[in-house]
C-alpha cells in the first residue's frame, strides 16, 4: 500500500524558512516523479512544485519560483521542499503527492503557518 | 483564477445523477490526461478518475469520467449522502510546465 507521510510543518515568521519532508513507502520511489501541492484554509488545491524520477528536472509554480526548492533522495525514499522567504500567503496545508504530471496518491499533509 | 474552470457548486437529491464539468484549453485538457479528485471534509484528496475515464480499484462504478476536446466531465449516478464533498479536476499544462487544478466544485446532497 502506498504511504506518504509529511513532516516539518509549523509556525514561522514572515521572511523565515522551513524544510518539509515526505517519507514514501509501499512503492518503488525512484520510479515515480513526485509533487508538492498546497491548500490554504477554505481554498482550492494549488500545485507548488514537481520533480522527475532522478531529480534532474524540477518544476515550480510562478508563485514560489526562486523561493522554494524541491529535492529528493532516492536512497532514503524521501522527498523534500525547502521553503525560504516565506510570506503570509504561503500559509497552507502542504501535501506530498506521487506523480509529477499525473498525481495518483496523496499524503495527509502538514500545516505551514506564516505569521508574526 | 484557476487555469481549469469548474462551476463552484452543484447539488442533487439521493439517487439522482449529477455532472461536474471542467473546461480548459489545448495546452492542458486538449492534449493531456485528466484526473478527478474527491476531497471529503477535513481529509486529503483521493483520486476518483485517472487518465480521463479510468477508475482505481475501490472506486464505485457510480463514478465515471469523460473528455471531449478541451473539456472534461465527472458524472456521479445514484447520488448518495456520502458523496457530499469537493471535487477537483487536474491535468498537466504544457505552456505552464506544471500541474493545473480546477477551482473545485462543492457537491451538496440535498
In angstroms, what separates the C-alpha of A17 from chain B's closest C-alpha?
24
Q: Do B103 and A106 touch (CB under 8 A)?
A: no
pLDDT of residue B69: 97
How far apart are the C-alpha atoms of B76 and B78, rounded to whole Å? 7
Q: Do B44 and A95 touch (CB under 8 A)?
A: yes
Q: Do B99 and A47 touch (CB under 8 A)?
A: yes
* B89: nearest Cα among B44, B49, B30: B49
User: Is B90 touching A (CB cutoff 8 A)?
Assistant: yes
pLDDT of residue B19: 97
Q: Which residues in chain B have Cβ-Cβ distances shorter than 8 Å to A100?
A: 99
Q: Do A44 and B104 touch (CB under 8 A)?
A: yes
Query: Taken in order B65, B1, A79, B41, is the CA torsion positive or negative?
Result: negative
CB-count burial class (<10 Å; 0-12, 13-18, 19+) for B92:
buried
Residue of chain A minimizing CA distance to B33: A102
Chain segment A2-35, per-residue pLDDT in tens: 999 999 999 999 999 999 999 999 999 999 999 9
DSSP B43: S
**B63 φψ region: left (φ > 0), alpha (ψ -120 to 50), beta (else):** beta
pLDDT of residue B1: 83
pLDDT of residue B8: 94
Chain segment A65-114, per-residue pLDDT in tens: 999 999 999 999 999 999 999 999 999 999 999 999 999 999 999 999 99
Q: For chain B, which residues score pLDDT lower than 50?
A: none
In angstroms, what separates the C-alpha of A46 from chain B's closest C-alpha?
7
DSSP string, chain A: --EEEEE--EEE-TT--EEEEEEEESS-GGGS-EEEEEE-TTS-EEEEEEE-SSSS-EEE-TTTTTTEEEEEETTTTEEEEEE-S--GGG-EEEEEEE-SSS--EE---EEEEE--
Q: Do B98 and A107 touch (CB under 8 A)?
A: no
Amino acid at each position: 500500500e502506498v504511504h506518504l507521510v509529511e513532516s516539518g510543518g509549523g509556525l514561522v515568521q514572515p521572511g523565515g524558512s522551513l524544510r518539509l519532508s515526505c517519507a514514501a513507502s509501499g512503492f518503488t520511489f525512484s520510479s515515480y516523479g513526485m509533487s508538492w501541492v498546497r491548500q490554504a484554509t477554505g481554498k482550492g488545491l494549488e500545485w507548488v512544485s514537481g520533480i522527475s524520477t532522478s531529480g534532474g528536472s524540477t518544476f515550480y509554480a510562478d508563485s514560489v519560483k526562486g523561493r522554494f526548492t524541491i529535492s529528493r533522495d532516492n536512497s532514503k525514499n524521501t522527498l523534500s521542499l525547502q521553503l525560504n522567504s516565506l510570506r503570509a500567503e504561503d500559509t497552507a496545508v502542504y501535501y506530498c503527492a506521487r506523480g509529477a504530471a499525473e498525481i495518483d496518491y496523496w499524503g495527509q499533509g502538514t500545516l505551514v503557518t506564516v505569521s508574526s | 483564477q484557476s487555469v481549469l474552470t469548474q462551476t463552484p457548486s452543484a447539488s442533487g437529491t439521493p439517487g439522482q445523477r449529477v455532472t461536474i464539468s471542467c473546461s480548459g484549453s489545448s495546452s492542458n485538457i486538449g492534449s493531456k490526461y485528466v484526473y478527478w479528485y474527491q476531497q471529503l471534509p477535513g481529509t486529503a484528496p483521493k483520486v476518483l478518475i485517472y487518465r480521463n475515464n479510468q477508475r482505481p480499484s475501490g472506486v464505485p462504478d457510480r463514478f465515471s469520467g469523460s473528455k471531449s476536446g478541451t473539456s472534461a466531465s465527472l458524472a456521479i449516478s445514484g447520488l448518495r449522502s456520502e458523496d457530499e464533498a469537493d471535487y477537483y479536476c487536474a491535468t498537466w499544462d504544457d505552456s505552464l510546465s506544471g500541474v493545473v487544478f480546477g477551482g473545485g466544485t462543492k457537491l451538496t446532497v440535498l
